[in-house]
Chains A and B, each alone.
Chain A
Amino acid sequence: MLQMSWLIPLFPLLSFILLLLFRKSKSESTAWIGVLLTGLSLVMSVGVCLAVWQGEGIKTEGTWFQIGERAITMGFEVNPLNALMLVIVSLVSFLVHLYSKGYMHGDERFGVFFAYLGLFSFAMLGLVLSPNLLQLYMFWELVGLGSFLLIGFYYFKPEAKAAAKKAFVMTRIGDVGLFIGMVLLFWQVGSFEYDEIFATVKNGDISDGMLTLTALCIFVGAVGKSGQLPLHTWLPDAMEGPTPVSALIHAATMVAAGVYLVAAMYPLFQASEAALTVVAVVGGLTAIFAASIGLMQKDIKRVLAYSTVSQLGYMMLALGASGYVAGIFHLTTHAFFKALLFLAAGSVIHAVHTQNIEEMGGLWKKLRLTGPLFLIGALAISGVPLLSGFFSKDEILASTYADGKYGLFWLAVIAAFMTAFYMFRLFFLVFTGEARQEKKDGQKDVHESPSVMTFPMIVLGVLAVVAGYLNTTWFGTFLSDYLARGPVELPHGDHHGPVWIPLVATLASLLGIGLAYLIYQRGTLSRDWITRSFPGLSDVIYNKWYIDEGYDQTVVKGTTGLSKLGALFDRYVVEGLVTAVTTGVQRLGRIGSRLQNGQVQSYGTAAIFGIVILLLIVALTGGYFS
């Protein structure tokens, strides 16, 4: 089974190629190609994962080309970490394919959408299987391309176009960081191989400063892809893409690639205390910061997007606080419940044709399946006990506390409270109360989505509940035992801190839910009492801390100014030079053509000039006359 694991990414690639060939086909049964092939990937991934669970991983490589004495290799590697990622990615990808069959029904570019999905899945699976940084980087960029294509899928909408561009450019900033880090590592180690890099790091052959620098550069790449502060602004905008895309790319897989990268390069980070601290601080700040923005958003998908950013922050925080298992654990559970939430949100949008939560309401009775599933997702992400989010979040909080980062610990607790609050604000606004949407003429009644859409949600719903039992103190720490067999040496020590931590976390989430219930369901508290009490603060939060505006004012304006300078330089200096050359040649030609006017006298004059010059030479050099 393991020997064949290189086939896993090739199935979606095949799907991409086939669907590109069939893209003109009007029949929507082409979707089954994608579903079937990703299904095959899923089956193989599960097989591989089980094989790794029982035995060893595998690594196969061949030399791609040789630079001097250094060989650049290509191949694939399966270890506990990426086997787990394979399962997550192919599972979510498979479910999203299935869901899209219903969601994209009737779209003109139905086939193309599935082709893009295939391309993205291929890239993501390839990224996970890469045994070295160079190969990872290539798939990393391919993933970015897939994301760009899918965000800009509705390319006729200007917002979608802008969002696609923004996502591409913002992640590019991170990619440059990753690239620099990669090159620095190659310079220091002489190889892109994970194993060799880790060996060199372990031997202490790299100076501490360089180690920190490379780790930070690679972390910049992760920041870009995972939408961490301050490069997070593209992720909420990326919600312009179709909702299944948001579920696949911007909840479960691509944004997790950043976390995966940090996890895969974890020995490098472990070697540098400073880098780990930076990771933790960035993660913690992102968690609370994005959660605060999520409190005020009105677009259902944007709330989920900020929630994603916030949860990714949690994962980074966990990794930074030596909670390797906690980070991966949360990555896994988050992939399930966030994909579930997005798919449920997609189902809601599919039903009511709006994304504004203030225009929704009272959908509980109408969407008999979506409602409870959304509730499960919301409970899971809020960290209500016995659901998956509770366990992974608890793990993160425990490891943060155990690592001695108390400030970040309390930040995370507050973020957990906020998460619970905004998730249930969303839930109450969308599913309870009166229907606030105005019924337009000829619009169909709100109805439940078809079964191709509900089935993936049910699967994810089940997983969102049970995924937490992968790693609990009560039933056994399967996941950490499993991950411990990977190349990463897990930090030692008991991360299951004081008993009161789960209590605090539970309390925070219940408090959030309760507050949301009081405000949005019972109406005991006025909806805008916070807004009224802190007008300035809420304004700032509503406008997403003015980050976008800040970028507009500084980076965008600066770049524009620079470009204008460049344009001026180009127009007046470069173009001037060019014009000078061309006009010079033109003038010369004009003079020549004036001489060449067909008149004997002009030719005679030229001849006389020639004779005079010859005579001058003779006269000056002496010659015949002297």
Chain B
Amino acid sequence: MSSVPLAAYLMLALILFCIGLFGALTKRNAVIVLISIELMLNAVNINLVAFAKYSINPGMTGQIFSLFTITVAAAEAAVGLAILIALYRNRQTVNVDEMDTMKR
């Protein structure tokens, strides 16, 4: 019997998710914003894996799903970085504040 309850894992995931969200919304450096998003994805992965072990219907599904998530996250990181570099070429900055093309 494990003595670590499900709630503890969920709590950890929640804390990490909040940290990632905060970073994604307040950091000015685009690279850090991307990393923060990775952190959020990680927090979700913790949830998936935790539910794979502790749930009404445990099984491998959660772990496999988290593998897919990691794959997608890697792809997202690659594409995100490509966009970042393209942007940097255009505007000579990675500062999110200055990327306000949507306003115009």
A contact set with B: CB distance below 8 Å: 596-601, 604-605, 608
Contacts and interface: CB of A to CB of B under 8 A. Distances in A.
A420 B58 CA distance: 128
Nearest to B30: A600
**Most B C-beta atoms less than 10 A away, residue of A597, A598, A604, A608:** A598
Contact of A597 (B21, B26, B33, B103): B103
B96 A599 contact: yes
B25 interface: yes
B25 A604 contact: yes
Contact of B25 (A596, A597, A598, A605): A605
The residue among A601, A605, A608 with the most chain B CB atoms within 10 A of its own CB is A601
B96 A601 contact: yes
Given A601-B26, A601-B96, A596 B21 contact: no
B101 A601 contact: no
A246 to B, nearest CB: 72
B16 to A, nearest CB: 16
Contact of A604 (B24, B99, B102, B104): B24
Nearest to B104: A598
18 contacts: A596-B103, A597-B100, A597-B103, A598-B100, A598-B101, A598-B102, A598-B103, A598-B104, A599-B96, A599-B99, A599-B103, A600-B96, A601-B25, A601-B33, A601-B96, A604-B24, A608-B21, A608-B25
Contacts of A599: 96-97, 99-100, 102-103
Contacts of A600: 96, 99, 102
Contacts of A604: 24-25
Contacts of B102: 598-600
Contacts of B100: 597-599
User: Can you list the 4 inter-chain pairs with the closest CB atoms, starting with the nearest?
Assistant: A598-B103, A598-B100, A598-B102, A604-B25
A494 to B, nearest CB: 100
Contacts of B33: 601
Contacts of A596: 103
A607 B96 CA distance: 18
A599 B100 CA distance: 5
Interface in B1-50: 21, 24-26, 33
A600 to B, nearest CB: 7
A597 B99 CA distance: 10
Nearest to B96: A601
A597 B101 CA distance: 9
A596 B100 CA distance: 10
A541 B96 CA distance: 87
Contacts of B104: 598
A599 B26 CA distance: 11
B4 to A, nearest CB: 23
Nearest to A607: B25
A599 B27 CA distance: 12
B100 to A, nearest CB: 3
Interface in B53-78: none
B41 to A, nearest CB: 16
A258 B21 CA distance: 88
Interface string B84-104: 000000000000110111111
A399 B79 CA distance: 115
Contacts of B25: 601, 604-605, 608
A605 B96 CA distance: 14
A599 B24 CA distance: 12
Nearest to A604: B25
A609 to B, nearest CB: 11
A608 B17 CA distance: 13
A545 B101 CA distance: 80
Nearest to B102: A598
Contacts of B96: 599-601
A608 B25 CA distance: 10
A172 B99 CA distance: 69
Given A600-B102, A601-B25, A605-B25, 10 more contacts: A597-B103, A598-B100, A598-B103, A598-B104, A599-B97, A599-B99, A599-B102, A600-B99, A601-B24, A608-B25
Contacts of A597: 100, 103
Contacts of B24: 601, 604
Nearest to A593: B103
B93 to A, nearest CB: 13
A608 B26 CA distance: 13
A598 B21 CA distance: 19
A594 to B, nearest CB: 11
A599 B99 CA distance: 6
Contacts of B26: 601
A605 B101 CA distance: 18
A604 B40 CA distance: 14
Nearest to B103: A598
Contacts of B103: 596-599
B30 to A, nearest CB: 10
A243 to B, nearest CB: 73
A605 B24 CA distance: 10
Contacts of A598: 100-104
Nearest to A599: B100
A604 B37 CA distance: 12
B37 to A, nearest CB: 11
Q: Quick one: which of A596, A599, A604, A605 has the most chain B CB within 10 A?
A: A599
A42 to B, nearest CB: 80
A605 B25 CA distance: 7
Nearest to A596: B103
